[in-house]
Amino acid sequence: MMSPKEIQKLREWAPFPIVVTLILYFAPSFLIAPQVENLETTGKSFGSLLKTVNETLGQRGKDRLYRARFARMTQEMERLSKWLPPESYLPTLIDQFNSLAEILKVKIKTVVYGFPLAVPGGQPPRVDIRLNLEATYESMRSFIQSVESLPSPLVLTEVVANKDRTFSLSVQHLVKP
C-alpha cells in the first residue's frame, strides 16, 4: 500500500498527465498545419514546374526534327544547285537544239526566249523558250524525244501542230537563281 505522502505527491502531479495529453492532442494541428500548407504549395509549384519541363522536352524534340529537316533540305538544295545549269548555259542549249534539228531533218525557223519577271512561289527560276519548226510528223516526234532526253532540266509545256507542216514547241529551261 501507498503511504499518504505518496498519494499526496500523486495528486500534485495528476494534472500534469492531463496537460501532456492535451498538448499531444492539439499540438499536431498547430505544428503540422503549416507543414501541410507548405506541402500543398510545394506540390502546386512542382506541378507547374513539371508541366514546364514537359513542354521544354517536347520543344527540344521538335527542334531536333526541324534541324534534321533543315539539314535534309540544305543537302537537297545543294544537290539541285549542282544539277541546275546557270543562265549562261542557254547558248549551249540552243546549239544542242540546232544539232538535233540538223540530225533529224528539222528546220528551226525561229527561236524566242525570255526570262519571266515574276516566278510563281516555290518554282525555280527559268527561261521560257519557244521554237518554231518545220518538219514532218515523224521527224518532229523524234526531235521532241531527243529534246526530252537531253541532260538539261527541260520541261516541254506546249506542242502545236499547224496545217502547213510547221510546229510550235514551248520549253521551260530551269536555271540557277
* Domain locations along the chain: 1-83, 87-174
145-164: pLDDT as tens digits: 998 888 888 888 899 998 88
Give the bridge partners for 114, in sequence order. Answer: 128
Among residues 157, 153, 154, the alpha carbon closest in space to that of 80 is found at 153
pTM above 0.85, yes or no: no
What is the model's pLDDT at position 69?
94
Under a CB-based contact definition with an 8 Å cutoff, are residues 126 and 173 in contact? Answer: yes
- Which residue from 70, 176, 59, 62 is spatially nearest to 126, judged by alpha carbons? 176
Residue range 69-79: mean pLDDT, rounded:
89
Confidence (pLDDT) at 80: 75
Q: Does residue 64 register a pLDDT over 80?
A: yes
Phi/psi of residue 149, nearest 5 degrees: -90, 0
pLDDT, mean of residues 169-173: 89
Average pLDDT of the chain to the nearest whole number: 84
For residue 144, pLDDT over 80 is answered with yes
Classified by CATH at the fold level, domain 87-174 comes out as Alpha-Beta Plaits (3.30.70)
Question: Which residues neighbour 10 within 8 Å (Cβ) at sequence distance 6 or greater?
Answer: 2
Q: What is the pLDDT of residue 72?
A: 93
**137-148 and 90-103 are packed helices; what angle lies between their axes, rounded to 10 degrees?**
140
